[in-house]
Amino acid sequence: MLRSKLLRELYQQHTLSRADLTRLTGASSASVTQIIRELLDEGVVQEQGSQQEGLGRPRVMLCIQQDFRCVVGIRMVSQEIHASLMNLRGHSLCQLTHHLTSFEPHQVTAELAEVVHKLILQGGISKDKLLGVGLALSGIVDARQNLCVYSFLLGWKHVPIGEMLEKRLSVPVRVDNDVNSITIAQKLFSEMRLERYFTVLYIGEGIGAGFYHDDELLTGRNNAAGEIGHFTVVRNGRLCICGKRGCLQAYASTDSLLHQAREQGLDIETLEDLHHAALQGDPEVLRLLNFAGQLVGLALSYVIDTLDIQKVIVYAPTCNTERTFQNALLEAVHHHSLPLVDSPKTILFKPGEPELWLAGAGGIAINAFLNDQLKLPLTASVHER
């Protein structure tokens, strides 16, 4: 417990002294000193110069040794998967893209193992340098049990993919949902690292949200927290892929926007077509984007008020240059969220950060390591198949 607290503080703050760590964790200085000694012996932490404060002895500063081990991050949100070998700060050493031949779980396991082997070779590291593998996939994932509960894309139900890959590789593997991995990426590698409360809203073919609440990733009992795409936002509205009517996803996902545009008789095939039509001021496209923005803002206002969140990052390819979608969303959040809580709400729109998201897949493993949930690999057997 204390080990994890120390690791997380050092990771977030970059450099701290033993006295800082004692103050921040509330632990006794003897316990902090003992665990830091273990972490120094293991090579996880290193000393980095000293700082003079007042007239006392200079304080030795400590930091995480970012090249202590590597992780592999794999993002599997379509048949084309992206993988990266990275250090503990998410800096990529090498990357590759692989086209899965099928979604059959044993075949996927074999191909993912092959991808990991290739990255290790390409990165020129030995297997005992590999701390773990993080796998981000679309769908509902039970991160505690390391299994995919349900994935529409992969056609999977209760597939223990984490365990299967771990057995194949003899390296710890952690699996999580893709939106959670994007949220973890923000916490570990972006300017949000010191924020204790924030939300990431992802809008693509599906819509999902990830949350940090009091510095912890909020996952829910079944690890299904954040499925806001299926909030009912229009009573008896459009049919959704989940079987319900009026879900947010049926109006605001990229697929449903394209579908709605075509229903109106517009010649629109791709998101680029949609953006182009919006730039040309097509009234029907602007109406669709405006309505989607309003509904997302409505759903987001429930989340903001439920969790008392001030910062939201919105990843949406529907963000358009003339800001129809963004303005409608902001207006709806302002209109629907509780005005009594005196806190400015910051909503940042980002079109996409694929590099950061890939780092987030590795971040699943790094996060588990910081939470002291990864066992260090003991043997080097990378070529085991």
**Which range binds Zn ion by CB under 5 A, 154-162, 236-244, 273-281, 371-379?**
236-244
Q: Which of 18, 244, 245, 336 binds Zn ion (CB under 5 A)?
A: 244
Query: CB-wise, 49 or 220, nearer to Zn ion?
Result: 220
Task: Name the minimum Å distance from CB 244 to Zn ion.
Answer: 5
Closest by CA to 333, choosing from 295, 364, 280, 374, is 295
**Which range binds Zn ion by CB under 5 A, 92-100, 153-161, 245-253, 286-294?**
245-253
Binding pattern for the stretch 187-226 against Zn ion, x by CB under 5 A and - elsewhere:
----------------------------------------
**Which range binds Zn ion by CB under 5 A, 88-96, 192-200, 209-217, 234-242?**
234-242
Sign of CA dihedral 90, 188, 361, 42: positive
Task: Name the minimum Å distance from CB 237 to Zn ion.
Answer: 10
Query: CB-wise, 207 or 329, nearer to Zn ion?
Result: 207
Task: Name the minimum Å distance from CB 242 to Zn ion.
Answer: 3
- Residue owning tokens 């939201």: 312
Instruction: Say whether residue 227 binds Zn ion (CB under 5 A).
Output: no
Instruction: Say whether residue 295 binds Zn ion (CB under 5 A).
Output: no
Query: CB-wise, 26 or 243, nearer to Zn ion?
Result: 243
For every residue of the chain, which 3-state class applies, written as one string? CHHHHHHHHHHHHCCEEHHHHHHHHCCCHHHHHHHHHHHHHHCCEEEEEEECCCCCCCEEEEEECCCCCEEEEEEECCCEEEEEEEECCCCEEEEEEEECCCCCHHHHHHHHHHHHHHHHHHHCCCHHHEEEEEEEECCEEECCCCEEEEECCCCEEEECHHHHHHHHHCCCEEEEEHHHHHHHHHHHHCHHHHCCCEEEEEECCCEEEEEEECCEEECCCCCCCCCHHHCECCCCCCECCCCCECECHHHHCHHHHHHHHHHCCCCCCCHHHHHHHHHCCCHHHHHHHHHHHHHHHHHHHHHHHHHCCCEEEEECCCCCCCCHHHHHHHHHHHHHCCCCCCCCCEEEEECCCHHHHHHHHHHHHHHHHHCCCCCCCCCCCCCCC
Query: CB-wise, 242 or 348, nearer to Zn ion?
Result: 242
Residues 322-351 that bind Zn ion (CB under 5 A): none
- Residue owning tokens 């949902």: 177
Instruction: Say whether residue 245 binds Zn ion (CB under 5 A).
Output: no
Instruction: Say whether residue 168 binds Zn ion (CB under 5 A).
Output: no
Instruction: Say whether residue 248 binds Zn ion (CB under 5 A).
Output: no
Instruction: Say whether residue 247 binds Zn ion (CB under 5 A).
Output: yes
Query: CB-wise, 108 or 252, nearer to Zn ion?
Result: 252
Query: CB-wise, 189 or 251, nearer to Zn ion?
Result: 251
Query: CB-wise, 198 or 251, nearer to Zn ion?
Result: 251
- How many C-beta atoms lie closer than 10 Å to residue 297's C-beta? 25
| CB contact set of 259 (below 8 Å; sequence gap of 6+) | none
Query: CB-wise, 94 or 241, nearer to Zn ion?
Result: 241
**Which range binds Zn ion by CB under 5 A, 29-37, 178-186, 227-235, 262-270?**
227-235
Instruction: Say whether residue 304 binds Zn ion (CB under 5 A).
Output: no
Instruction: Say whether residue 230 binds Zn ion (CB under 5 A).
Output: yes
Query: CB-wise, 129 or 244, nearer to Zn ion?
Result: 244
Q: Which of 121, 239, 242, 376 binds Zn ion (CB under 5 A)?
A: 242
The site for Zn ion (CB under 5 A) is made up of: 230, 240, 242, 244, 247
